[in-house]
A = this chain, B = another copy of it.
Amino acid sequence: MANVDTKRLIMDAAQPMVQANGYNALSFRDVASAIGIKSASIHYHFPTKGDLGAALARRYTATGKAYLATLRDASADVPGLVASFIGIFRAALANDNRMCLIGIMAAEQADLPDPVRAEVAIFTDVCVGWLAEILSAGGAGDDPAVRRRAFAIFGAIQGAQLVARGRNDMRVFDQMIVTYRESGLIP
């Protein structure tokens, strides 16, 4: 069990660091000292930095997917569901101006090992798929027009997070979301 616990300790320490500073800036030595082990020990649990990055992205996607499922099962109100979706990204900003783990990784795309890049793509698929399902209001969500709209909403939210973070100002995020809604992009 010590194995599993240490693995989790490493991931729990590393995730907020990536959301704050990015994958490139993540330091094994920083993670190790945060939980009281040596950096060489991390390699026992995650052979390479890419393995750790992929594990973080995978867990992040799994957690998000499960949360989105509970949201969808708890309500059929489309604007409310989309607002809850946006709330996930807002919460990251509220947490010390952090970004969605996947959003910041997407910006570092060219630096990512292939397995991490693959996890980033899966997260986008999960989000866009969920939004498309919501927007089709009970339908399968595979209508190309609905999928295109889901993609646009997802991108606009990511952009709002990126720009607001650059300003370190959540009001920028909130105002952009309001404007998206007024324009009709977001229901």
Residues of B close to A148: CB separation below 8 A: 175-176, 178-179
A90 contacts the other chain (Cβ, under 8 Å)? no
A38 within 8 Å of B (CB atoms)? no
Q: Report B-chain residues with C-beta under 8 Å of the C-beta of A155.
A: 156, 159-160, 162-164, 176
Mark interface residues in A164-187 (1 if CB within 8 Å of B CB, else 0).
111110001001101110011100
Q: In the complex, A108 Cα to B149 Cα: how many Å?
A: 28
Known contacts A99-B107, A155-B163, A163-B158; A185 and B180 CB within 8 A of each other: yes
CB proximity of A55 to chain B, nearest CB, Å: 19
| Interface presence of A22 (CB below 8 A) | yes
Number of copies: 2
A164 contact set on B, CB distance < 8 A: 155
In the complex, chain B residues whose CB is within 8 Å of the CB of A152: 156, 160, 175-176, 179-180, 183
Within the complex, the shortest CB–CB distance from A45 to chain B, in Å, comes to 24
Contact residues in B for A157 (Cβ distance below 8 Å)? 159
Give the contacting residue for A179; candidates B109, B111, B151, B179; CB below 8 A.
B151
Within 8 Å by CB of A185, from B163, B166, B183, lies B183
In the complex, what distance in Å separates the CA atom of A176 from the CA atom of B150? 9
Report which A residues bind B (CB closer than 8 A).
20-22, 24-25, 97, 99, 103-104, 106-111, 120-121, 124, 148-149, 151-152, 154-168, 172, 175-176, 178-180, 183-185
Question: With A21-B111, A109-B166 given, can you name 11 additional A-B contacts, CB distance below 8 Å?
Answer: A24-B25, A104-B107, A106-B165, A107-B108, A107-B165, A148-B176, A155-B162, A155-B176, A157-B159, A159-B161, A184-B184
